[in-house]
Amino acid sequence: MDNLITQLINLFAAVILMLAFAMLSQRRILTLIHLFTLQGLTVVASTVAVAYVTHQHHLYYSAALTLALKCFLIPYLLHRLINRLNVRWDIETLINIPTIMLIGIVLVVFSFNLALPIAKLSASIARGTLGIAIACFLLSFMMMITRAKAVPQVIGFLSMENALFFAATSATYGMPMVVELGIALDVLVGVLILGVFMFQIREQFDSLDISHLEKLKED
């Protein structure tokens, strides 16, 4: 049974990676939010699985916290945001998705190499997934770099946090509860502040295209 659940954790890791790639190559903002919610759900599921196998009860709490925050509250906020900003059906022009994905693959190989020595030290049952967690982190980072609009960037930021949380669960069975609470609060506040920022950006430039921020540069 435990063996099966370990495999299940690996499967969840693969799904998280897959969703990270899907987010990297998704043009529609609405679908992006759905994908993000799905990724949050998978992270929750894998945390529950790790908690079940290792009997670490505090992981159940952090899973519940993540569920509330990443799967309900933040997606709800994002939905409200895109409705009020009226960018619900926005499509971003992404250049050359295969190239972005190719770079993504290089990142995966790189992070695997990075995680290898760490994973050897770790005693966690899910240590194999550490490389995937790092890869997801880097992929989300890259998503933030390649996007030109503000909302997808915020989603990239949030999915980066997902990856970090997943990394913490898989490598060391999660961070202390206090730290986790703190991070959760940080993310929430971050989203709120970024939301406010987005309104400001729109007020200023009549667009959410952050390339307009270049105009702020003094010549």
Partner 1 sequence: MIDWVLLVIAAWIGVGVLGIAALRQFKLVARILFPLGGLIGLALAFAALSALPRAPEIAILPIGLPQLPFHLRLDSLSAFFLLIIGAAGAGISVFAAGYFRQGAGTPPGLLCCEYHLFLASMAMVVLADDAYAFMVAWESMALASFFLVTANHKVPEIRDAGFLYLLIAHIGAIAILLCFGVLQANSGDYTFAGMREQSLSPFWASAAFLLALFGFGAKAGMLPLHVWLPEAHPAAPSPVSALMSGVMLKTAIYGLLRVCFDLLHLHLWWWGVTLLALGLATALFGVVFATVQTDMKRLLAYSSIENIGLLLAAIGLGLLFRSYGMNALAALALTACLFHVASHAFFKSLLFLGTGSVLHATSERNLGHLGGLLRYMPWVGWLMLVGVFASSGLPPFSGFVSEWLLLQSFLFTPGLPDPFLNMFIPIVAALIALVAALAGYAMVKFFGIIFLGQPREENLRHAHDAGPWEKAGMLWLAAWCIALGLLPNLMIQFIDPVTRMMVGEGLAKQAAASGWWLLAPTSIERASYGPVFFLLGIIAASTLAFLLVRLFYHGHVRRSAPWDCGHPWQTPRMQDTAEGFGQPIRQIFEPFLRLQRTLPSPADTKPFYKVVLNDHFWHWLYLPISRGIEYLARQVGRLQQGRISIYLLYSFITLLFMLFLVQR
Partner 2 sequence: MNLSGLLSQFLAIMAALLLAPLLTGWVNQWRAWLQNRSGPGLLQPYRMLRKLFIKESVVAESASPLFRMAPYVAFGCMLLSCAIIPTLSTDLPLSPAADAIALVGLFAMARVFMALAAMDIGTAFGSLGARREMLIGFLAEPALLSVLFTASLISQSTALTEIVENLAHRDFVLYPSLAFAGIAFCLVSFAENARVPVDNPTTHLELTMIHEALILEYSGRHLALIEWAISLKLFAYSCIGLALFFPWGIAEAQAPVALILAIPAMLFKLAIGGFLLALIETLCAKMRIFRVPEFLATAFLMAVIGMLTHFLLGS
Residues that bind partner 1 (CB under 8 A): 105, 109, 112-113, 116
**Residue 115 neighbours by CB distance under 10 Å:** 23
Q: Residue 166 binds which one of partner 1, partner 2, none, with CB within 5 to 8 A depending on kind?
A: none
Does the footprint of partner 2 cover residue 4 (CB under 8 A)? yes
Site for partner 2 in 72-131 (CB under 8 A): 97-98, 101-102, 104-105, 108-109, 112, 128-129, 131
Helix axes 2-24, 130-146, angle to 10 degrees: 10
With respect to partner 2, which residue has the nearer C-beta, 37 or 129?
129
With respect to partner 1, which residue has the nearer C-beta, 105 or 145?
105
**From 78, 132, 151, 171, residue interacting with partner 2 (rule: CB under 8 A):** 132
40-66 in b/e form (b: 16+ CB < 10 A) is bbbbbbbbbbbbbbeebeebebbbebb
3: buried, middle or exposed (CB in 10 Å: 19+, 13-18, 0-12)?
exposed
122: buried, middle or exposed (CB in 10 Å: 19+, 13-18, 0-12)?
middle
Which residue is listed with tokens 């997808």?
Answer: 152
Does the footprint of partner 2 cover residue 8 (CB under 8 A)? yes
With respect to partner 2, which residue has the nearer C-beta, 27 or 80?
27
Q: Residue 113 binds which one of partner 2, partner 1, none, with CB within 5 to 8 A depending on kind?
A: partner 1
3-state percent helix, strand, coil for the chain, nearest multiple of 5: 85, 0, 15
Does the footprint of partner 2 cover residue 153 (CB under 8 A)? no
Q: How far is the CB of 113 from partner 1 (least distance, A)?
A: 5
**CB neighbours of 205 closer than 8 A, spacing ≥ 6?**
212, 215
Q: Residue 18 binds which one of partner 2, partner 1, none, with CB within 5 to 8 A depending on kind?
A: partner 2
With respect to partner 1, which residue has the nearer C-beta, 116 or 196?
116
Q: Which residues bind partner 2 (CB under 8 A)?
A: 4, 7-8, 10-11, 13-15, 17-18, 21, 25, 97-98, 101-102, 104-105, 108-109, 112, 128-129, 131-132
